[in-house]
Structure 1
Amino acid sequence: MEIMARLGYGARGIVYCLVGGLALLAAFGSGGQTGGSKSALQSLLSQPFGKVWLSAIALGLFGFAAWRIVEALTDADHRGTEWKALGVRAAHLVSGGIYASLALFAVNLALGSGGGGGEDQAAQSWTAWLLSQPFGQWLVGLIGAGIAATGIGFAWKGWKGDVMDHLALPSGTDGWVRPLGRLGYAARGVVFCLVGIFLILAALHSNSSEVRGLGGALQSVQAQPFGWLLLGIVAAGLFAFGVFGLVQARYRHLDAPDLNDARNAVADGMQALKPGR
């Protein structure tokens, strides 16, 4: 499990490096693209050994998805069973599902099946379905508010939080790792806030075409006055978060639970969710 988790952090880091690097090139007119994670993975197909890279990244992303799910269910990071901790663990559970989906996309690309549509298209499709359900507008709005709140949390962590949490670094490395983490979390905060705002607008207008994913958020930054500069700053932050992910892959403290600990932790979490606690 620890090996899977470390491969996962590394694979996530590579994806963010690709997204940020391509967006940096686009910001300064040197090619590149303002796409999301799926577009970044598609760009590997034209590179030497592209399918091999995609297969390796897919394996790592499956590992990261598995670790996120185990981490959420067993409280491997010892967050506890208070409501705030349970909220973080629930977010990690959702994250596991998202990265499993991205891993499947990478596998399909490597196998030559195309991988399906882009992130914006996928987001608009599920939003359209959700809007058609009873109380759909409220649900989409709540999801958007939750994503925006997550973005604010990331931005706060980049500014004031402990980005070095769970890292066991060699002496003398804090001076460059900490700024990487701060810049990376701040950039993630910006794009998460934008994605959340797009969802809230879609809910208000009952129009799924207003939804944007990561790529759409970057394009909206680029469309602003001095957009090339703003995009360059956000893209540099995403690239920094990718490098920070590679550091996490090597130096993050991981406490993978054994089977009995996992069962007990899941039971404790279920008990904490019971009414009246």
Structure 2
Amino acid sequence: METPKDVARTAQRSDGFRRTARAGFVVVGIVHIIIGVIAVSIATGGGGDADQDGVMKVIRSTPIGGLLLGGVAAALIALAIWEVAGGLLSASRDDAKRWGRRLKMMGIAAAYLVIAGLALVFAFGGSIESEKTMQTLSTVVLAVPGGTVLLIVLGLSVAGVGVGFFVIGITRGFENTMDVPDGPSHVWIVSLGIVGYLAKGIAIAVTGALFVVAAWTQDPDRAAGLDAALRSITALPLGEPLLWLVGVGLAIYGVFSIVRARFARM
């Protein structure tokens, strides 16, 4: 009987599976480019839904939207399995580091699976509003004993993920997961990564902050996902130019993810 590690090794040795997983990075890139474009549109007075469900609506509106969404789901599921396999096969002798790496990669895989599930829902004609989902989650959490504390912890955890992206951008930690060639291409690929990670870190941190605000004010409507987080930036001094920069940064993160499909260590 095969163990989970045996299955993980089999997956990592499959060229076809590896190519499908790399396609997952391309999908992640396209999603972020569309979100970034929508965010820039909002910053310049336009409309749109700068969230994953907004992206799915854009893809579904194309002539072969259902087929494309099926491909999106398949690539992201493969990428999620690849992340889980990497966690299971972590070779660190330090138990704390090994389990920390596993938990990190499980979390990344879960994020990919959420987007994959969303793609499948839209592919089959369904619809999910991220804003309402986040508000419902906040309402449920606030209704349980200690819910305010739980929602604050959730918000701080999400914000912590955002800070993590910010730190990775500053320290260029993403280079440890890639085989980037030396020369001029190294400079611009690293530059894309720095800008992209910083922008994504800001977006996620603001999303987490909204959960904390929802808990503090006892108003679950304040926690409304990425779209609301990006729109809330416009309330800051010089908010519209700042949102424009974050939107461009998210699009750059998308471009970096597409490049990463070529140079990621797999």
Q: Same fold (TM over 0.5)?
A: yes
| Aligned residues of 1:218 and 1:231 also touching (Cα < 8 A) | yes
CA distance in 1, matches of 2:254, 2:132: 25
Query: Residue 144 of structure 1 aligns to which amino acid in structure 2?
Result: G
Match of 2:33 in 1: 17
Aligned 8 A contact 1:166 1:252 in 2:
yes
2:75 corresponds, among 39, 42, 60, to 60
Match for residue 109 of structure 1? 122
The aligned residue for residue 164 of structure 2 is 153
- Partners of 1:88 and 1:25 in 2: CA distance: 37
Residues 172 and 190 of structure 2 are in contact (CA less than 8 Å); yes or no, is this contact kept in structure 1?
A: no
What are the within-5 Å matches in structure 2 for residues 62-77 of structure 1? Answer: 62-75=77-90
Structure 1 counterpart of 2:159, one-letter code: A
> By how many angstroms is 1:94 displaced?
2.9
Q: Deviations over 1:98-128 (max 9, x none)?
A: 321221221221222x222x21211121222
- 1:123-179 Cα distance to aligned partner (Å, 9 max, x none): 121222222223222222112111112211211222233332221123321121011
Deviations 1:41-100 (A, max 9, x none): 21122223222322221211222222233333433xx56645465345324323322321
Query: Is 1:98 the equivalent of 2:111?
Result: yes
Could you tell me how far apart the structure 1 residues matched to 2:138 and 2:100 are? 23
Correspondence list, 1:233-248, <5 A:
233-248=245-260
Deviations along 1:246-270, one digit per CA (max 9) or x if unpaired, are 111111112xxxxxxxxxxxxxxxx
What do you get for the CA RMSD once the two structures are aligned? 2.2
Give yes or no for contact 2:42–2:231 (8 Å, CA) kept in 1. no
Change (3 A) 1:129 1:87: farther
Q: Distance in 1 between matches of 2:94 and 2:106?
A: 15
1:184 Cα deviation from its structure 2 partner: 0.6
Over the matched positions of the two proteins, sequence identity in percent amounts to 29
Which residue is 2:190 aligned to?
178
In structure 1, what residue type is equivalent to 2:229? A
Give the equivalent residue in structure 2 for 1:8: 24
**Is 2:217 aligned against 1:201?**
no
Q: After the TM superposition, which residues 27-46 of structure 1 pair with which residues of structure 2 at under 5 Å, given as runs?
A: 27-29=43-45, 31=46, 33-46=48-61
Q: Does 1:89 align with 2:105?
A: no
Give the whole-Å Cα distance in 2 for the aligned partners of 1:153 and 1:79.
Answer: 21
Cα deviation, residue 18, structure 1:
1.3
Structure having the higher helix fraction is: 2
Gaps of 5+ in 1: 255-277
CA distance in structure 2 between the aligned counterparts of 1:196 and 1:80, rounded to whole angstroms: 33
Q: Matched residues in 2 for 1:150 and 1:177: separation?
A: 23
Measure, in 2, the Cα distance between the counterparts of 1:21 and 1:134: 41
Closer, same or farther: CA 225–33 of 1 in aligned 2, 3 Å: farther
- Secondary structure at the residue paired with 1:171? coil
Moved more, 230-239 or 162-171: 162-171
Q: Distance in 2 between matches of 1:171 and 1:189?
A: 27
- Aligned partners of 1:85, 1:119: CA distance in 2, in Å? 33
Matches of 1:231 and 1:80, distance apart in 2: 43
- The CA distance in 2 between the partners of 1:191 and 1:94, in whole Å, is 18
Partner of 2:200: 188
- Equivalent position amino acid for 2:119 in 1: A
Does residue 1:48 correspond to 2:60, yes or no?
no
User: What is the rounded CA distance, in whole Å, between the counterparts of 1:244 and 1:91 in structure 2?
Assistant: 20
1:119 is matched with 130
What is the CA–CA distance in structure 1 between the aligned matches of 2:89 and 2:261, rounded to whole Å? 20
- The one-letter code of the counterpart of 1:111 is F
Q: Does the C-alpha gap of structure 1 residues 145 and 7 become closer, same or farther in structure 2, counting only changes over 3 Å?
A: same
Aligned length: 249
